[in-house]
Amino acid sequence: MSTVFIALQTNEETRPIIEAIEIDNPKAVVNRQPAMVKIDAPDHLVIRRETIEEQLGRAYDLQELQINLITLSGNVYEDEDTLTLTWNS
């Protein structure tokens, strides 16, 4: 088992994103630190555009993640609807 993670800035914009990640990744652990939120998950983490849109109340382009992303770990796969992090371990 390998841990993938994503870290986001702590601000109003990332709140719905973090909520969406928690909804779509039941095994994820959310770590809140000053200025940063780090979300760990075993082997695999998926971010879904649709879930974010439900939390946010507007259309969302996954590329907007760029603005508040701090760092991540894992192989990245991206399409219009999802961003996935995985380790093959």
Partner 1 sequence: MDMKVAKKKLGMKERYRALTRDLGWEPSYQSKDALFPYVKYEGIKVHDWDKWEDPFRLTMDAYWKYQAEKERKFYAIIDAHAQNNGHLNLTDARYLSALKIFLQAISPGEYAAHKGFSRAGREFPGVGTQVACQMQAIDEIRHAQTQIHAMSNYNRYYDGFHAFADARDRIWYTSVARSFFDDAMSAGPFEFMIAIGFSFEYVLTNLLFVPFMSGAAYNGDMATVTFGFSAQSDEARHMTLGLECIKFMLEQDPDNLPIVQAWIDKWFWRGFRVLGLVSTMMDYMLPKRVMSWREAWEIYGVENGGALFRDLARYGIRPPKGWDDAEKAIDHMSHQFMLGLYQWSFGTSLHSWIPPEEDMDWLSAKYPTTFDKYYRPRWEHIKKLKAAGTPFKNFGLARLCQCCQLPSVFTEPDDPTMACHRETVYKGEKYQFCSDGCKDIFEHEPEKYIQAWLPMPALFREFGGDVPAWMDWVSLRDGSDNGDYDGSRDQKHFNEWRNLATSNR
Cα–Cα dist 50/54, whole Å:
6
Which CB, 23 or 70, lies closer to partner 1? 70
Task: Identify the DSSP state of 35.
Answer: T
Binding site for partner 1 (CB under 8 A): 2-5, 7, 9, 33-36, 63-64, 66-80, 87-89
> 55 vs 84, which CB is nearer to partner 1?
84
The encoded tokens of residue 66 equal: 């760029």
Closer by beta carbon to partner 1, 26 or else 88:
88
Q: From the CB of 13, what's the least distance to partner 1, in Å?
A: 10
Half-sphere exposure of 2 (CA within 13 A, CB side): 10
Provide, rounded to whole angstroms, the least separation between the CB of residue 70 and partner 1: 4
CB of 63 to partner 1, least distance (A): 6
Q: Percentages helix, strand, coil for the chain, rounded to the nearest 5?
A: 30, 45, 30
